[in-house]
Amino acid sequence: MALVFVPESVMKAPNALYAQSGGPTAVINATAAGVIQAARAARGRIGKVYAGRNGIIGVLAEELIDTSREPASAIARLREAPGAAFGSCRYKLKKPEQDRTQYERLIEVLRAHDVRYFFYNGGNDSMDTAYKVSAIGASMGYEIGCIGIPKTIDNDLPLTDVCPGFGSVAKYVATSIREASLDVASMHTTSTQVFVLEVMGRHAGWITAACGLAAERSDDGPQILLFPEVPFDEARFLERVKATVARVGWCSIAVSEGLRRADGKFLAETGFQDAFGHKQLGGVARLVADLITDRLGFKHHAAVADYLQRAARHIASRTDVEQAYRLGAAAVKLALAGRNAVMPTIVRVADRPYRWKVGVAELKDVANVERTMPREFIDADGFHITPACRRYLCPLVRGEDYPAFRDGLPDYVRLRNAPVAKRLPGFKP
């Protein structure tokens, strides 16, 4: 009987590629751990797991990281590390009908490294990219399973009850404004009477709403929330601040960076745009605080949570960590089941006790769709959250998942991020 030669490439299991996109969260690396550990457990079905260095830019430049060079202990510790362990980026690919070059390059890189599973961890624009890569792969005759994995502190992706990353930022801002409110309450007779905290949220006020969790009783801070979904009415706002200070002696306010006037213009538009074409915002807390002092004479302090809110792994929500990890593992399961152009989701089963399960959505129904706060989550006067919103939010911030500490500070893992040898000519993204 003649021997049949089977090429080594045929015998090997295909590889997978994971990339992180957009702003990091406190739990994005928990998702990475879920992907890598699930892929390692699928021996014989998935070979190596590569990661794009600095997100999709690294994939285009063929700058890949070999995660198989990391020990199991390091991958396990990813679950409690903030930032983006493999690097991230804000980079929007052009539409395929305008320029297919970048998409074709992506497929070339995937083909060169025998990658048959692509996991893209990000928000709205990232889900759109994953969807388009799946379509280009099919048109080029290259079979590739593209799975989008949700990640955004803004909580604005549709078809999932919550986005991994949101629960932890919600816990951080609610904790921060509760503590700051107690500080102001203790000093208002001789010092600051108004405190304003600016949180992220361009079009969706979910993070602002989370600040409202800190106010469990009447007159607790924050007494006022300013949502991007509610047009800013200067006169009504100032009257509410004046009445609150008259009644309580002080006032604590949370405001979304995306607060808009009735004409739709942002209060704090800088005139610049980010890489995705979004108008850059900043400084709305200062604008609101100065307005209060100018018109009402109250002494104020203003703060911007900025990167602190999304990087605060030390006070992450245990619910959020668990959901982020499980969606990473679920993405691998979907890929191995032959699914393509889909995203694992969180499906709420019950509020009390809180129960949830993993669902699945088509990327075409998620890409570039933004979910804002429903009106029934904002009270009638537009300045606070409703009981329905509180029921939705409360389970998402529950539980603690502290990282390891060393010498009094969090001890976060640092990966080797060993590079994969390039096989293609250079390419400038």
Q: What phi and psi values does residue 72 have, to the nearest 5 degrees? A: -60, -35
The three-class DSSP label of residue 248 is: helix
Q: What phi and psi values does residue 309 have, to the nearest 5 degrees? A: -70, -35
Query: In this structure, are residues 31 and 20 in contact, taking their beta carbons and an 8 Å threshold?
Result: no
The three-class DSSP label of residue 177 is: helix
Q: What phi and psi values does residue 384 have, to the nearest 5 degrees? A: -160, 180
Write out the catalytic residue numbers.
154
First to last CA, the chain: 52
Strands, sheet with 342-350, edge to edge from the N-terminal-most edge strand:
64-66, 49-52, 15-20, 115-122, 145-150, 342-350, 355-362
- Nearest to 214, CA basis, from 245, 185, 257: 185
Structure tokens that stand for 183 in this block? 């500080």
Structure tokens that stand for 86 in this block? 């493999």
Structure tokens that stand for 126 in this block? 């990232």
